Structures are given as C-alpha cells and as structure tokens.
Amino acid sequence: MKWRRLNGQRIELPIKDAVEQALVRELNAGHKLKVCIGTDSQVRGGVVEFATVIVFLREKKGGFMFIHNQRKTKRMSLRERMILEVSMSIEVAYALCDLLDEYEVGLEVHADINTDPHFQSNVALKEAMGYILGMGFVFKAKPDAFASSYCADKVV
C-alpha cells in the first residue's frame, strides 16, 4: 500500500512504522492523541475511487493525516461499496490496533454512512455498525464520522 501525507509527500516506510514514528514524535511533544480511521469513495464513470485516511488528532492542537488512494473497476451496489469502505478502514485499524494500544492512543473507525433513513447510504448502517463493533472498535457514523465524511472525502 502506498501512503502519503496531505501535502503529497510519499511515506516510504511501512505504514505501521510511519504511524509509530508519528506517535512517538507527538507524544514526546506532550500531545494527547486520538486516531480516527475512515474511508470514502466516489464513482467516476466505470471506476470507483477510494481514499482511506488515518487521522491523528492532537487534543486542542489540530491534527494531521496519512492518505491511501486506490481504484476498483468492479461494478457494485451502493451497499456493497459502503461495506467495502468499512472493510478497508477495518483492515488498517486491525493492522494498527496493537501499536495504538501499546502507546495508549484511542482509536475510532468512522463510516461514511448516514444514520438518517432518508439517505441512500443508510442501507448499510446495520451491517457496518455490526462489522466495526464486532471487531472491537469504536464506531462512528454521520454526522460524527469526520474522518470518512470530511477528511477522506476531500482526497478521494
């Protein structure tokens, strides 16, 4: 997986090592951290573009994020796409959860799914919530899922 920073700078290290370096740097600077992971997608023609973000929040001091983009040419329903977004976020969260536990940093998985049944993405809410909670992660959906709804949305 190729990761980058918001400014476009490539992250050459394996993502777990890059995250650990960021954690050590931020904690040594005295910041209290929380990590939020989310994925968003957009359909453009016959291609689905995905962006997964790892957002590092410094308590009352802003934050920064790492970004991974990918494309899939497979046609899929909205429900399938929403669950695939959640799956991508969980894959990253699972790879990092031991590291975050070691440094006592909180972790949330954000789903770009609306809790209001009047919105189409709501069709996948129950499955996404069960998937994330079943994996033992803290679940957030719209309007609280800023990692997927705002951060990943801006870079997809």
Domain map (residue ranges) of the chain: 3-155
Summarize the confidence of residues 49-63 as an average pLDDT.
Answer: 96
Residue 52: both structure tokens together: 């997964």
In the sheet that holds 3-5, the strands lie side by side as 10-11, 3-5, 63-72, 47-58, 33-44, 106-114, 138-142
At residue 81, the pLDDT reads 93
SS3 at position 92: helix
- What residue type is 30 in one-letter code? G
Calpha distance 28→12 (Å, rounded): 22
Summarize the confidence of residues 65-71 as an average pLDDT.
Answer: 97
Residue 53: both structure tokens together: 């973000």
At residue 67, the pLDDT reads 98
At residue 118, the pLDDT reads 86
pLDDT-derived band at 74, boundaries 50, 70, 90? confident
SS3 at position 136: coil
Cβ-Cβ contacts under 8 Å for 99 (sequence gap 6 or more): 16, 19, 20, 23
Kindly report whether the global pTM for this prediction surpasses the value 0.85. yes
More confident residue, 121 or 52: 52
In Å, the largest CA–CA distance within the chain is 46
pLDDT-derived band at 116, boundaries 50, 70, 90? confident
At residue 63, the pLDDT reads 96
- Residue 93 is given by DSSP the state H
Calpha distance 13→7 (Å, rounded): 17
pLDDT-derived band at 55, boundaries 50, 70, 90? very high
Q: Does residue 61 surpass a pLDDT of 90?
A: yes
Task: Report the mean per-residue pLDDT for the chain.
Answer: 95
Assigned CATH for 3-155: 3.30.420
Q: Does residue 136 surpass a pLDDT of 90?
A: yes
Q: Does residue 22 surpass a pLDDT of 90?
A: yes
Summarize the confidence of residues 1-23 as an average pLDDT.
Answer: 96
